[in-house]
Amino acid sequence: MTRLIKFICFVKDFIFTPAMTLYFLLCTNLGNTYWLITRHLLFNAGAALLHSAASIISDRLRTSYQFNLSGPKFLY
């Protein structure tokens, strides 16, 4: 049951919401009016996601180097 809930949340957050946002921005007059502002916000959100992913990866690599003196062991 929890896997079903997680799957529904994944579909809602990563597929349905961006698709409806793009439809609103590209196919409605109000969306076209605010397109420049929202494009700027979407690009900033994408840059923030990439930055956070890079920091998480670097933190995991740093901890693997700190605690494993025999060499890097990647945490999966």
Query: Residue 52 domain-assigned?
Result: yes
Query: Residue 54 domain-assigned?
Result: yes
Is residue 53 over pLDDT 80? yes
Query: Residue 33 domain-assigned?
Result: yes
Mean pLDDT of the chain: 73
**What local confidence, expressed as pLDDT, does residue 71 receive?**
57
Query: Residue 75 domain-assigned?
Result: no
Report field, pTM of the whole predicted structure over 0.75? no
Query: Residue 29 domain-assigned?
Result: yes
- Does residue 75 contact residue 64 with C-beta atoms inside 8 Å? yes
pLDDT top residue among 38 and 57: 57
- Owning domain of residue 8: 2-67
Query: Residue 12 domain-assigned?
Result: yes
* Residues 6+ away with beta carbon under 8 Å from 61: 72, 74
Euclidean distance between CA atoms 20 and 14, whole angstroms: 11
Query: Residue 43 domain-assigned?
Result: yes
**What local confidence, expressed as pLDDT, does residue 66 receive?**
57
3 state SS of 69: coil
The residue among 18, 9, 76 whose CA lies nearest residue 46 is 18
Domain count, the chain: 1
